[in-house]
Amino acid sequence: MTPFDVCEFVNLRRDLHAHPELGLEEHRTSAIVAERLAALGWRVTTGIGKTGVVGTLTAGSSRRAIGIRADMDALPIHETTGLAYASRNVGRMHACGHDGHTATLLAAAARLAASRAFDGTVHLIFQPAEENVGGGQMMVEDGLFDRFPCDAIFAMHNYPGVPLGHFGFRAGPIMAAVDEATIIVQGQGGHGADPHEAIDPIVAGASIVMALQTIISRNRDPIDPGVITVGAFQSGQASNVIPDTARLVLSIRSFDPDLRDQLEARIKALVAAQAASFGASATVDYLRSYPATINHADETAFARSVAVAHAGDDKVYDLRKPSMGSEDFSYMLEKRPGSYFTLGAGDAPGWKSLHHPSYDFNDDLIAIGSGYWQALAERFLAPA
């Protein structure tokens, strides 16, 4: 394999696509990453955050260091692409492009190993379990930045629907914090013909669903973005039976830490009051998940300037608003300055969104993205 043979990394990406692994199960993927890095002359450390891998390369004498992160895990989705390299693991799919992120960073490893045109240390961070498991937090808690000090860290995500190779940047909040709540409404079952002798948890649950939206419309400052989504409402099995319980599952998203606290408090209070108004009771199991992804201003400006020099001003734009999606690179940005940005994957007719069963990573991004990572690392670690 020659250092700049992009076809090799396209083939690698397609191999990873055909063998997707869920969070903390990325044993095959991690082994491939470690093998490729070692073959390119990088020092390899495995088992960080369980299945995470870090490749380290030093050139010159500077003590400065940069970290670049790619995620490796797949999603529990049944693939419908019909591609020759479609998933061979039933019910698992690279529907978010993490196969492409991994292949792109490995291509950057080849470029940097060949050039060594920098003064300092590059840490390539291959992270497990970004999808809902928190592999970023696990790596941080496993001493990532103690073992691999970084002056700044960077990550990108491919973005279908945006012209190919267009870079999007935003200082400050770029992705939301996400929490989850499970509500159990306890009623009293009975015959559907005698509702007065029962306490209907479905009616109470339906009232809770509607009342929850008043938190967003009446308790939240309209300037502060927030979302409460009831993604599941489960209760009963027969038309003539009032069940004992109902189960609701919520996704809660926000940016401001004070609003995050307010949403939790109001959800718990409102659920209890709504249930009581029907003679029922309710419990709320509230789980704090990923914090908001907050980009640092200086590092974002730096990454943007590299993109302008690398791709041209016409292919670099500022994201007008943050996304209500979430990203566990946020845990790394809480510990080190850095920036998370988007890279357009193309907007040709027929493109599919992330997490769609017919999505596929655009392999043209491997050359574009790896070239950018090389330029970013070399400029950040430019000799004095």
**The whole model's pTM is what?**
0.94
Nearest 5°: the CA angle 350, 354, 141 is 160
Of residues 209 and 384, the one with the higher pLDDT is 209
- Identify the pLDDT of residue 70: 98
Residue 244 has pLDDT above 60, yes or no: yes
- The pLDDT > 70 percentage for the chain reads 99
Residue 1 has pLDDT above 60, yes or no: no
Q: Residue 45: pLDDT band by 50, 70, 90 thresholds?
A: very high
> Binning pLDDT at 50, 70 and 90, where does residue 384 land?
confident
For the segment 54-107, what is each residue's pLDDT rounded down to a tens digit? 999 999 999 999 999 999 999 999 999 999 999 999 999 999 999 999 999 999
- Report how far residue 49's alpha carbon sits from residue 128's, in angstroms, rounded to the nearest whole number: 7
d(CA 312, CA 314): 5
DSSP structural state of residue 219: I
pLDDT at 132: 87
How is the chain split into domains, by residue range? 6-175+292-380, 177-288
Mean pLDDT of the chain: 97
Note the residue count of the chain: 384
Q: Quick check: 45 and 123 in contact, CB under 8 A?
A: no
Mean pLDDT (whole number) for 210-229? 96
Residue 350 burial (10 A CB sphere; 0-12, 13-18, 19+): exposed
Give the E-state strand segments of the chain in sequence order.
Answer: 43-48, 52-59, 65-71, 120-127, 152-159, 167-169, 172-175, 177-186, 190-191, 226-234, 241-242, 245-254, 281-288, 293-295, 316-318, 338-344
Answer yes or no: is pLDDT of 2 > 90: no
pLDDT of residue 44: 98
What's the topology of domain 177-288?
Alpha-Beta Plaits (3.30.70)
CATH 3.40.630.10 is right for the domain spanning 6-175+292-380:
yes
Contact predicate 13/374, CB 8 Å: no
Q: What is the pLDDT of residues 257-283, one digit of tens each?
A: 999 999 999 999 999 999 999 999 999
Tens-digit pLDDT profile for residues 121-174: 999 999 999 998 999 999 999 999 999 999 999 999 999 999 999 999 999 999
Whole-angstrom Cα distance, residue 297 to residue 372?
19
> What is the C-alpha end-to-end distance of the chain, expressed in Å?
33
**Structure confidence by residue, pLDDT tens digits, 330-376:** 999 999 999 999 999 999 999 999 999 999 999 999 999 999 999 99
